Copies of this chain bind each other. A is one copy, B any other.
Amino acid sequence: MSEPNSFDRFARQWLPLLEAEMRSQLAHPDAVVAQHYQMMHYHMGWVDESFRPGAFGTGKRIRPLLCLLACAAVGGDPALALPAASAVEILHNFSLIHDDIEDGDETRRHRPTVWKVWGVPQAINAGDGMFALAFAALLSSRGWGVAEGALVAALTRFAACCAALTEGQHLDLRFEQEESVSVADYLRMIEGKTASLVAASLSIGALLGGASRECDNALYRFGLHIGLAFQIRDDILGIWGDPAVTGKAAGNDILRRKKSLPLLYALEEPTVSQQLMRRLGEPLAESDLPGLLNLLAAANAQAFAEDAVRTHHQQGLTALQEALGAAALCSPLGVLADDLLLRQA
């Protein structure tokens, strides 16, 4: 539809304020250490390699928007949650800087990664700086009239989420080296690496907005489920997505042997497991794709993954309703959950 939905309208209203808040949280304290902060600004998409201002790719800022939306949904003023929303986006970007080093990725959003431009030591340290500044941003909510008890609860969620992120990344790095990975361990990995920050973003916004413990817990569960649904949908698109829409080659993730949910599920299916394992052990060309996709089809891998997305989406909506009542299903949070389920790229 060409009419912007309620999530898009909310985003259009709050994104400029969020961006200004993040710039203020990442401002350098004095000229001596300016470069430390300018590397962060580069990664955030605000400056080029010579630190000249410009408009570069910034990501969609979904997590901070969820934080602001949750605050509004429980009856709080989203402006109260701007430092917290900055905190979750700064944390997300810290993790991307370190992921790029750990995975050896040389580009992100069509530009060289921080380590590629300034070297691994400074990039590790710039990431650490953002990690610290994410906590400082959340703590700066104190000046905005947030109750101290709510702030401590939000910080506790945030710290637990940071630990979960590193657990997820630990598993992701280990899985690359391991022969076989179980579906259960894979789900644990994406829960830590993706879903926990989506859930924490919602929880933190709700806590600062004055949510009850029950409402906060239900929104956290909503976040976990839509985070998992989002990631599994991503796995599906990586194999069966339309190249014209995703911008990636058909079957891309299969030919790269990426350990995503459909493949790991098929590898656990006794009927195809041995044959699939053998084929993945051989060199792969594009001509191997139909055969591999046939094996995935024989294992019902796509149906399993689509079903997982639907289940998590449904469980998420149930939690959202528990948190905020049936009307929430038509609120921007419900709209966003539906969009994530239906997305094609």
Which residues from chain B contact A155 at a C-beta distance below 8 Å? 135, 139, 155
Q: How far is the CA of A155 from the CA of B158 in the complex (A)?
A: 13
**A310 contacts partner chain B, Cβ-Cβ < 8 Å:** no
Additional A-B contacts beyond A132-B163, A151-B152 (9; CB < 8 A): A29-B167, A32-B188, A102-B125, A103-B121, A132-B165, A133-B159, A135-B159, A136-B156, A142-B152
Q: How far is the CA of A125 from the CA of B167 in the complex (A)?
A: 9
Q: Assess A121 versus B102: contact at CB under 8 Å? Given A36-B170, A129-B167.
A: yes
Query: Within the complex, which residue of B36, B167, B171 is in contact with A166, where a contact is CB–CB below 8 Å?
Result: B36
**A339 contacts partner chain B, Cβ-Cβ < 8 Å:** no
**A128 contacts partner chain B, Cβ-Cβ < 8 Å:** yes
**A277 contacts partner chain B, Cβ-Cβ < 8 Å:** no
Would you give the 0/1 interface string for A172-187, flagging 1 where the beta carbon is closer than 8 Å to chain B? 0110000000000100
Q: Assess A122 versus B152: contact at CB under 8 Å? Given A128-B131, A136-B160, A159-B139.
A: no
Which residues from chain B contact A166 at a C-beta distance below 8 Å? 36, 125-126, 128-129, 132
**A35 contacts partner chain B, Cβ-Cβ < 8 Å:** yes
Which residues from chain B contact A128 at a C-beta distance below 8 Å? 98, 131, 162, 165-166, 169
User: Which residues in window 39-97 of A have CB below 8 A to B?
Assistant: none
**A124 contacts partner chain B, Cβ-Cβ < 8 Å:** yes
Q: How close is A189's CB to chain B, nearest CB, in angstroms?
A: 9
Q: Is the CB of B101 within 8 A of A173?
A: no
Query: Within the complex, which residue of B136, B163, B167, B174 is in contact with A136, where a contact is CB–CB below 8 Å?
Result: B163
- Nearest B residue (CB) for A167: B33
Interfacial residues, chain A to chain B (CB-CB below 8 A): 29, 32-33, 35-36, 98, 101-103, 120-122, 124-126, 128-129, 131-133, 135-136, 139, 142, 148-149, 151-152, 155-156, 158-160, 162-163, 165-167, 169-171, 173-174, 185, 188
Query: Would you mind naming 29 contact pairs between A and B with Cβ atoms under 8 Å apart?
Result: A32-B171, A32-B185, A33-B188, A35-B170, A98-B125, A101-B120, A102-B120, A102-B121, A120-B120, A125-B166, A125-B169, A125-B173, A129-B166, A129-B167, A129-B170, A132-B159, A132-B162, A132-B165, A133-B163, A135-B155, A135-B159, A136-B156, A136-B159, A136-B163, A139-B152, A139-B155, A139-B156, A139-B159, A142-B156
Which residues from chain B contact A32 at a C-beta distance below 8 Å? 171, 185, 188
- Nearest B residue (CB) for A104: B121
Which residues from chain B contact A167 at a C-beta distance below 8 Å? 29, 33, 36, 129
Q: How close is A169's CB to chain B, nearest CB, in angstroms?
A: 5
Q: How far is the CA of A345 from the CA of B151 in the complex (A)?
A: 44
Q: How close is A199's CB to chain B, nearest CB, in angstroms?
A: 16
Which residues from chain B contact A160 at a C-beta distance below 8 Å? 136
Q: How far is the CA of A119 from the CA of B127 in the complex (A)?
A: 18
Q: How close is A146's CB to chain B, nearest CB, in angstroms?
A: 10
Q: Is the CB of A102 within 8 A of B124?
A: yes
